[in-house]
Amino acid sequence: MKWMVVADGHGLPLGARLTSASPAEVTLIEAIPLKWPRPQRVIYDRAADSDPLRERLRQKGIELICPHRKGRRKPPTQDGRPLRRYKRRWMMERTMAWIGNFKRLLLRFERSIDIYKAFFAIACIMILIRRFGNHY
């Protein structure tokens, strides 16, 4: 199972998509449903280094920030200034670790994908409650 999660600048999950592990991540980045306004930037790892993906996101008004792959033959599409934001990727890694703390998601006991998606949604809701529960 592959988890594709969109988080805000504080690492709180905003949207998610669960798919099988076989499709490439580049094809799944654009398909994540969001209930919030469109993000201005998407920060991703080297797996998203695709010029067609950058162009499609640029047409939607979204800047893709990711380092280039090591064997890239084409000239670079961005200089080092936007990559400074890549240093904040640890917040997304922390979000994935928070989701990974739910044993039921790591060890998939359910056969039905609908039940697994429901537990994934509950995990995201519990993360939000833990972060904002003390503020209200």
Q: Is the pLDDT of residue 97 over 70?
A: yes
Please, what are the domains in the chain? 2-132 (3.30.420)
What is the C-alpha to C-alpha distance for residues 133 and 21, in angstroms, rounded to an integer? 33
Check residue 135 and give its pLDDT.
61
The residue with greater pLDDT, 22 or 122, is: 122
